[in-house]
């Protein structure tokens, strides 16, 4: 069969500036490359990532498979409808179709629920016989079965490697751990991960894993092996582990780690407790200090719009991140992704303002906050990003600590690209809620 694998554009109508910014900041995808690796050589596979290349609808394909997350779902459906209009069979998969298979099925001949690894061969056999089933349900595969991707043909500044998949924590807003794709923690054999990193044609990369602090024994072994490769990387970890395990921090630095990205989520302990995050706010200052002591930068990410949050939370967060001397931050608006307990709760409470999935990109208010208006939430996050990523603060962050050259360069890249991204996403006055929803907001607050 002639098979086309498609990744829909994050921003289909992006301006030239937005396209350049996307190319500079977007992490290279491994999803379609894994699907390609899974496909038997007897088939001909073509990959189109719409963020880099226009989709041509005149190809003579037997099957089109589209991977989508929530914010690209509508674009995925448009692409699917166009191919189906030409009589070509379409398969949809990814986080969004896994959460809402019934919705996805309206635009596809078959929907993969869960990971492709578990069902892809069977699906292709059925497609060859023109006998696709409507749904293919895949329970999480083992670490050994997680496929290594083929090389990504598109240029991207940030290349990624997946050593583990899934997360054992169950934060109520998390689209990863509350999905059939990420609900179980698995580890790929270390030898294979090392081989993938060796094969990367670049010196720096990012571990895409949700957290490299879940199985610390595995990670330490991986870091010991990584030391031989003379590469640099950034990775995600949990604050409660990083605050205590100095051996892990030393091994990480020796292996070439330049930065840890850590989900602080909130400066309010009550919020962390309510969302099921096992962190202690009291640990945060220590985490920053410890990670810095071992020569690495700490990037803390925060989410705003939880039920505990009032409009004071933005100034409280700014004061805390300056006091803790965090090196860089990520800021997100709370987004109830379908499939999460948060989505179910807010839907039951009639607090979802829109189901226009294209707005579910972490930069739009799509739910009714409990203790502030949607506008206050949007403007508070915007103010915080503007304040932290001011030129004077960026320079302070770059030169304020004793980092080696590569850490300083990586931190500078993160700070400047984050500034550009936040300026672009918060650039215009957002129409936050429709008139009807605004009334609903006013009545409730």
Footprint of ligand SF4 (CB under 6 A)? 167, 169-171, 174, 176-177, 210-211, 263
Beta carbon of residue 165, minimum distance to ligand SF4 (angstroms, whole number): 11
Residue 242 CA to residue 285 CA, distance in Å, equals 11
Tell me the residue length of the chain.
445
Beta carbon of residue 240, minimum distance to ligand SF4 (angstroms, whole number): 10
Residue 392 CA to residue 110 CA, distance in Å, equals 52
Q: Indicate the residue among 171 and 252 with the shorter CB distance to ligand SF4.
A: 171
Q: Indicate the residue among 263 and 380 with the shorter CB distance to ligand SF4.
A: 263
Residue 357 CA to residue 313 CA, distance in Å, equals 27
Q: At what angle do helices 313-324 and 374-388 cross, to 10 degrees?
A: 20
Beta carbon of residue 182, minimum distance to ligand SF4 (angstroms, whole number): 7
Beta carbon of residue 98, minimum distance to ligand SF4 (angstroms, whole number): 15
* Strands ordered across the beta sheet of 257-265: 160-161, 204-207, 232-237, 257-265, 297-304, 328-333
Residue 305 CA to residue 120 CA, distance in Å, equals 38
Beta carbon of residue 258, minimum distance to ligand SF4 (angstroms, whole number): 21
Q: Indicate the residue among 82 and 169 with the shorter CB distance to ligand SF4.
A: 169
Beta carbon of residue 362, minimum distance to ligand SF4 (angstroms, whole number): 13
Beta carbon of residue 241, minimum distance to ligand SF4 (angstroms, whole number): 11
Q: Indicate the residue among 240 and 437 with the shorter CB distance to ligand SF4.
A: 240
Q: Quick one: tokens of 349?
A: 């409470």
Beta carbon of residue 7, minimum distance to ligand SF4 (angstroms, whole number): 22
Q: Indicate the residue among 91 and 303 with the shorter CB distance to ligand SF4.
A: 303
Proportion of the chain in helix, strand, coil states, percent, rounded to 5: 45, 15, 40
Q: Indicate the residue among 266 and 292 with the shorter CB distance to ligand SF4.
A: 266
Beta carbon of residue 47, minimum distance to ligand SF4 (angstroms, whole number): 27
Q: Indicate the residue among 80 and 174 with the shorter CB distance to ligand SF4.
A: 174
Beta carbon of residue 90, minimum distance to ligand SF4 (angstroms, whole number): 30
Q: Indicate the residue among 38 and 262 with the shorter CB distance to ligand SF4.
A: 262
Spell out a b/e string for 102-139, using b for 16 or more CB atoms within 10 Å of the CB, else e. Answer: ebbeebbbbbbbbbbbbbbeebbebbeeeebeebbebe
Beta carbon of residue 277, minimum distance to ligand SF4 (angstroms, whole number): 6
Q: Indicate the residue among 51 and 340 with the shorter CB distance to ligand SF4.
A: 340
> How does DSSP assign 263-286, residue by residue?
EEE-S-HHHHHHHT----GGGHHH
Q: At what angle do helices 405-425 and 374-388 cross, to 10 degrees?
A: 150
Q: Indicate the residue among 169 and 371 with the shorter CB distance to ligand SF4.
A: 169
Q: Indicate the residue among 93 and 166 with the shorter CB distance to ligand SF4.
A: 166
Residue 5 CA to residue 45 CA, distance in Å, equals 7
- Which residue pairs, CB below 8 angstroms and at least 24 apart, start in 373-377? 373/441, 373/442, 373/445, 374/432, 374/433, 374/441, 375/432, 376/311, 377/304, 377/305, 377/309, 377/333
Q: Say if strands 44-49 and 2-7 run parallel, antiparallel, or are unpaired.
A: parallel
Backbone dihedral region of 242: left (phi > 0), alpha (psi from -120 to 50 degrees) or beta? alpha
- Nearest residue to 236 via CA among 257, 215, 266, 260: 260
């Amino acid at each position: 069969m002639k098979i086309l694998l498609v990744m829909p554009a994050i921003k289909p109508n992006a301006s030239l500036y937005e396209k350049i910014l996307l190319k500079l900041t977007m992490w290279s995808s491994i999803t379609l490359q894994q699907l390609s690796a899974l496909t038997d050589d007897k088939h001909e596979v073509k990959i189109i990532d719409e963020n880099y290349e226009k989709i041509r609808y005149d190809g003579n394909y037997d099957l089109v498979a589209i991977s989508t997350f929530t914010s690209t779902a509508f674009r995925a459906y448009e692409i699917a409808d166009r191919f189906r209009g030409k009589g070509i069979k379409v398969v949809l998969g990814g986080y969004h179709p896994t959460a809402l298979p019934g919705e996805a099925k309206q635009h596809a001949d078959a929907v993969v629920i869960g990971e492709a690894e578990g069902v892809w061969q069977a699906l292709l056999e059925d497609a060859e016989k023109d006998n696709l089933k409507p749904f293919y349900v895949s329970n999480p595969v083992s670490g050994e079965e997680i496929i290594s991707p083929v090389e990504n043909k598109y240029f991207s500044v940030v290349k990624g490697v997946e050593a583990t998949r899934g997360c054992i924590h169950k934060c109520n807003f998390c689209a990863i751990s509350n999905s059939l794709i990420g609900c179980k923690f698995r580890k790929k054999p270390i030898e294979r991960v090392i081989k993938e990193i060796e094969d990367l044609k670049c010196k720096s990369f990012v571990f895409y894993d949700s957290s490299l602090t879940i199985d610390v024994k595995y990670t330490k072994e991986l870091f010991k092996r990584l030391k031989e490769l003379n590469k640099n990387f950034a990775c995600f970890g949990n604050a409660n582990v990083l605050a205590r395990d100095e051996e892990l921090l030393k091994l990480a630095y020796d292996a070439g780690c330049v930065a840890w990205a850590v989900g602080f989520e909130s400066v309010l302990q009550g919020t962390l407790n309510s969302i099921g995050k096992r962190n202690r706010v009291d640990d945060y200052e220590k985490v920053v200090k410890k990670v810095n002591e071992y020569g690495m930068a700490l990037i803390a990410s925060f989410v705003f719009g939880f039920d505990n949050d009032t409009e004071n939370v933005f100034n409280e967060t700014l004061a805390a991140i300056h006091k803790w001397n965090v090196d860089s931050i990520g800021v997100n608006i709370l987004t109830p992704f379908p499939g999460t307990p948060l989505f179910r709760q807010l839907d039951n409470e009639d607090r979802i303002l829109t189901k226009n999935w294209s707005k579910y990109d972490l930069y739009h208010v799509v739910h009714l906050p409990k203790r502030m208006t949607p506008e206050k939430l949007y403007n508070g996050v915007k103010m915080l990003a503007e304040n932290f990523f001011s030129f004077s603060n960026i320079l302070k962050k770059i030169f304020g600590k004793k980092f080696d050259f590569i850490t300083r360069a990586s931190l500078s890249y993160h700070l400047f690209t984050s500034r550009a991204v936040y300026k672009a996403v918060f650039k215009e006055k957002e129409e936050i809620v429709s008139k009807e929803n605004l009334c609903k907001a006013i009545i409730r607050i």
